[in-house]
Amino acid sequence: MRRSPDPIQQTLAEAMVSSSLPLLLLLLLTPGVASAAPADGCPTRCGDVDIPYPFGIGPECSFDAGFALTCNETLKKPFFYNIEVHNFSLADGQARMISDLSWQCYNSSDKTLRALQWSMNLINSPYRFSDVHNKFLVIGCNTLAYIKGSENTNGYTAYTSGCRSQCSDKADLNDDSCSGIGCCQTSVPKDYNYYEIQFEQNLSISGFPELNPCSFAGLVEANSFKFQKSFILTDELKDNGSAPFVLDWAIGNQTCEEAKLKKTSYACISENSVCVDSANGPGYLCNCSIGYQGNPYLREPHGCRDIDECVTNNPCSGGSACHNLPGTYNCLCPPGEHHDDYSNRCMPKEELPLAAKVAIGASSSLAFVLLCSMCICLLYERRKLIKARKRYFREHGGRLLLEEIRGREGHALFKIFTSEELEKATNKYDKNRILGQGGYGTVYKGILEDSRVVAIKKPKSIDDSQNKEFGKEMIILSQINHKNIVKLLGCCLEVQVPMLVYEFVPNRTLYHLIHENNNTSLVPLDTRLRIAYESADALAYLHSSASPPIIHGDVKTSNILLGEDYTAKVSDFGASKLVPKDEDQFATLVQGTCGYLDPEYLLTCQLTEKSDVYSFGVVLLELLTSKKAVYFEGAQEERSLASSFILAMKENRLLEVLDVQVKNEGDAELIQEISQLAKQCLSISGEERPTMKQVADELDQLRKYKQHPWIPSNPEEIENLLGEPLDDHGMYTSTSISSTAGKRMALDIESGR
């Protein structure tokens, strides 16, 4: 698969299928010297497209050679080599470009197949294909096409994915629907900057060439490409089919920390800018600090400028006047009043009418004096309480959080609760409402005013150092949105220890399901595999969603809750924290559970994503054996599930330790595969463990294999399957096949040729 680098080639001629692939682009960038700023007089537009620095027309106007574009004066459009550029976004580090679709057409008069199959090579450029926005799209009737990628930044890793589209009748085609009939789409992995597209030829020949002589395929932005049935019924896409696709870009191949050390080439030179590690591949991006906007890659006065919040979206209400400050703003109130951050309005300053009360008291009866002093005490206490609430709110970063939430779209999803609201929801922390209790604190069932049922977590205590970070952490956790992660609905900051409000998950935990359910045998292998896959997928999401990644830190069966239909919901970010930067921070954080704790962590004192992988390995074992992570065997002897399982595997007595149900249901090969996966997760060295994403993908494959054991598991079988015309039952199907090189279900179709 690996191609030797050719010079830039632009063979666009129609090719017989047997001929080689034309290359859309092949880049051989020599690492250029990064220029800290563009030269004077550099154009900032080409046609209708803004070209913000670090991009530029020509190398002297751009950050380095990878960011240099050309402007075609006749077309009035910018190009990156021969790829047309649609637009750039500095804030998300994205670029939209336009690529041509690959096609394959069958000529029934001379019975030949002609094809134009594109490949695109962005190796050594700042660009990589966005896995979030792009989909591999295949259009046609009875068409199977592959996309192959290789050479990502982690070294040589190849992947092949395919998508198959079918249709037998024109009447079945629907505009805007890309779901297997006439059009099929599949996702692509992160961190790839090379792909090539290939059609499976035999399938097209054996198909229905009269209905649609041409098929198309391409990597395109899924949201902007709308399938039309005319694509199939006419050949309008041929020679004229192009579509936007999205690229993520980043500066260099270093992290922010590494790049900051190199003062000369560090790109975030605006004073009010911050550096953000790229979420897709190596490198970093610059961003304006909160409260600023502009171009973080330029020095003042062209860099990040203060946003005048008072003009853009006057954030002050309730009688207060807005006053802009660098990076922030102040809400000012008339004399005698002060601004209350929480309600965002001016409040009268509460002056205690002490002197008045005393005067009245002196002239009244003793009883009245007593009554008055009681009033004063109450008032004083109340004032103290309000003050304390405000202090806690401030200390826990409430203001930052409020600003962030107000600025966010759909901010209704995350709410800052008052302590009264939570008191009411839990019926004053009624004992009958307790869902769970532990070293961390107590979880109550709460019913909100809109009759939503929630779980309210009231921790026992919080570390002072964590205190200040709390608001910031909430900002990140509140953005986590995954169907297999317990959703954080809000928090309450105006108490000494902040409380968290989560969605309510009805079916207790995986621990209960496996260990405290008398009908364990009723948990089918399918369900076990699905729960394992969903949990792995959720953890993979956590590891990839934020930068720095979120590490769960306490993965165990009792932290995997079960929702309706036993959907897994990973919970308890009590221990989860952003990756700590130094050991000090780290020391406060260890909260893992015996039997699940990464052994490497004990040596290095460093919690990594791979620590979660280890703990997840133990969860897998529990699913397979229905034994606890640390269990008693016979004579009160404590045993670690991880070590006894690995010993059993080594001594070939796997069957002895497995759960009866699992043994009965799973075939030996499947069980062997899952055990192997668990064993890899439990590798002593973190490096040898797969990533959570790989674990999730593998489990997904195994799960599908369990459901459809006929999916062939070696290349020859695949070839045979694809070579045969489909029978009538297979008419309206679409299949996507994914594989990673080196994996068991590898689909290296080239090896068969």
Contact in structure between 599 and 684 (CB atoms under 8 Å) = yes
- The residue ranges that bind ligand NAG (CB under 6 A) are 31, 72, 74-75, 86-87, 89, 91-93, 96, 107, 109-110, 202, 240, 253, 276, 285, 287, 290, 719, 722-723
100, 131, 248, 554: which is the annotated catalytic residue? 554
Residue (59 or 361) nearer to ligand NAG, CB: 59
Residue (235 or 423) nearer to ligand NAG, CB: 235
Residue (107 or 521) nearer to ligand NAG, CB: 107
Find the shortest distance in angstroms from Cβ 477 to ligand NAG: 16
Q: How far is CA 514 from CA 228, 504, 558, in A?
A: 49, 21, 10
Find the shortest distance in angstroms from Cβ 248 to ligand NAG: 10
Residue (253 or 344) nearer to ligand NAG, CB: 253
Find the shortest distance in angstroms from Cβ 377 to ligand NAG: 47
Residue (304 or 454) nearer to ligand NAG, CB: 304
Tokens representing residue 382 in the block: 């109340």
**What is the Cα–Cα distance from 367 to 679, expressed in whole angstroms?**
78
Contact in structure between 306 and 291 (CB atoms under 8 Å) = yes
User: Who contacts 170 (Cβ-Cβ below 8 Å, separation ≥6)?
Assistant: 211, 229, 232, 233
Closest CA to 210 of 233, 244, 194, 230: 233
Which helix (DSSP H) or strand (DSSP E) does residue 638 occupy? strand 637-640
Residue (107 or 343) nearer to ligand NAG, CB: 107
Find the shortest distance in angstroms from Cβ 95 to ligand NAG: 9
3-class secondary structure, 446: strand
Find the shortest distance in angstroms from Cβ 97 to ligand NAG: 11
Residue 326's Cβ-count burial label (10 Å; 0-12, 13-18, 19+) is exposed
Report H helices in 605-714: 609-625, 641-650, 654-657, 660-665, 668-681, 692-707
Find the shortest distance in angstroms from Cβ 57 to ligand NAG: 12
Q: How far is CA 113 from CA 108, 140, 241, in A?
A: 9, 14, 18
In the block, which residue shows the tokens 């570390």?
A: 463
Quick count: other Cβ atoms within 10 Å of Cβ 209? Answer: 19
Contact in structure between 326 and 304 (CB atoms under 8 Å) = no
- Is residue 390 marked as binding? no
Buried residues in 302-321 as b, exposed as e (16+ CB within 10 A): ebbbbbebbeeeebbeeebe
Residue (238 or 639) nearer to ligand NAG, CB: 238
**What is the Cα–Cα distance from 559 to 570, expressed in whole angstroms?**
6
Quick count: other Cβ atoms within 10 Å of Cβ 425? Answer: 22
Beta strands 23-25 and 119-121, pairing class: parallel
Quick count: other Cβ atoms within 10 Å of Cβ 356? Answer: 10
- Nearest-CB residue to ligand NAG? 723
Contact in structure between 689 and 610 (CB atoms under 8 Å) = yes
Q: How far is CA 479 from CA 401, 408, 430, 488, 673, in A?
A: 12, 10, 30, 9, 35
Find the shortest distance in angstroms from Cβ 670 to ligand NAG: 28
Find the shortest distance in angstroms from Cβ 723 to ligand NAG: 3
Residue (313 or 643) nearer to ligand NAG, CB: 313
Catalytic annotation present for 554: yes
- The residues assigned a catalytic role are 554
Residue list, annotated binding site: 458
Residue list, annotated binding site for ATP: 458
